[in-house]
Amino acid sequence: MQRYLALDFIRGCAILGILLLNIVGFALPSAAYLNPAWQGEITLSDAWTWVLLDGLAQLKFLTLFALLFGAGLAMQIPRGSRWITSRLTLLVFIGFIHAVFLWEGDILLDYGLIGLIVWRMLREVPSDRALLHTGVLLYLVGCAVLLVFGAISSPQATRSWLPGAADLEYESYWKLVGGWEAIQNRLDHLSSGLMALASQYGWQLAGLMLIGAALMRSGWLTGQFSVQHYRRAAALLLTIGWLIAIPGIVAQWLLGWEFRWSGFFLQVPRDLASPFISLGYAALCYGFWPTLMKTRFSYAIQCVGRMALSNYLLQTLICTTLFYRFNLFLKFDRLHLLAFVPAIWLVNILFSVLWLRVFSRGPMEWLWRKLTRLAAGKPGNSSLIR
């Protein structure tokens, strides 16, 4: 199958960018991920860190990764239904293991489950335009469901939004001690996540995958348009996205991250803005790709993108070791947590570059492919060595 180097680069940027937000999920309580005032108050440095990350990264890199996942599904269609079904089922299994035994913030299981639905839609929707329209419609349905949840929710903050001292102490306990207590809590998180996937997030995720597949089929995500087109598209998409997102960010600050508004209604501007901003980032990469592709930096990020699954899981191993095994959980605020990110990025980059000098694909990518071949009953070369 043909490799698109720019897509590898963009995928690598997405994997590295996801860590900007996931570091909060590893090092702070679950409530901190969306609520910067989870302690009931907030420092000015924490507030401004949240503002910058919310505008530039929150949901943006996850959205970009979902778009690329849909593009990847479109590329896999010629391999046939047994291959795709086996591949996605194995991803669900990997995600389940990750979510239960390593970290409750897993996205792989969600992507696998929704992918099992979406790839069939890719075969049945007749045109790229229809595919795009269907994706946009599904995404908007997810946004509408979020508004409905906001309308029927209680204005009283839940413990998952504003945890008490006992809640924080218990979360610290099971994350640091691990064992069966941690597994039970991760299973609870998984159950809640699956309910959210079925009722709201799944609509958005399916929509993004369909949009990504449509853009892949049209050639937009393979760089088949002019450099000038991508630069103009980047300027337009980023402008529209931030014009939608910034009022929501300001409103959350002014309302003091009040539960009902910030937990539901003001999530919608972010959700609406994220596809524009994410595609704007992709357009920027294509707009400057003739220059980027000549740099060593570009090659290094491409290697990260080629080993996206391995690097995603590696980030979990590094962060759970740092914050749970070395007792660094709840020891840093948002701003200071960002200091860990470049160091972990460096590990991702060095691991990817050095590994791919010897092997043809990442360790988890190789295992995933080998198991897919076995499950699909397809013979072929699955050697790891170049």
- Tell me phi and psi for residue 158, to 5 degrees: -85, 165
Q: The tokens of 371 are what?
A: 């198991």
What average pLDDT does the segment 102-108 reach? Answer: 96
What average pLDDT does the segment 17-28 reach? Answer: 97
| Single-letter amino acid, residue 324 | Y
**Are 13 and 281 within 8 A, CB to CB?**
yes
What average pLDDT does the segment 124-141 reach? Answer: 92
Residues 6+ positions from 160 with CB-CB distance below 8 Å: 30, 31
What is the per-residue pLDDT for 177? 94
Strand partners, 359: 385
| Single-letter amino acid, residue 253 | W
Chain centroid offset of residue 240 CA:
21
Residue 382 clears pLDDT 70, i.e. is over it: no
What is the per-residue pLDDT for 36? 95
pLDDT tens string 59-73: 999 999 999 999 999
Q: Where are the alpha helices (DSSP H) in 153-226?
A: 165-177, 179-196, 202-218
Residue 379 clears pLDDT 70, i.e. is over it: no
Angle between helices 5-27 and 60-76 (to 10 degrees): 140
Residue 78 clears pLDDT 70, i.e. is over it: yes
Q: The tokens of 85 are what?
A: 């079904």
Q: Which residue has the higher pLDDT, 127 or 266?
A: 266
What pTM was computed for the model?
A: 0.95
- The confidence band for 1, taking pLDDT boundaries of 50, 70 and 90, is very low
Residue 101 clears pLDDT 90, i.e. is over it: yes
Task: Convert 138-163 to b/e letters by CB count within 10 Å (16 or more is b).
Answer: bbebbbebbeebbeeeeeebeebbbb
Chain centroid offset of residue 122 CA:
21
**Are 101 and 183 within 8 A, CB to CB?**
yes
What is the per-residue pLDDT for 283? 98
- Cα distances from 232 to residues 207, 226, 290, in angstroms, run 24, 10, 16
pLDDT tens string 318-365: 999 999 999 999 999 999 999 999 999 999 999 999 999 999 999 999
pLDDT tens string 140-178: 999 999 999 999 998 888 999 999 999 999 999 999 999
Residue 118 clears pLDDT 80, i.e. is over it: yes
pLDDT tens string 230-288: 999 999 999 999 999 999 999 999 999 999 999 999 999 999 999 999 999 999 999 99
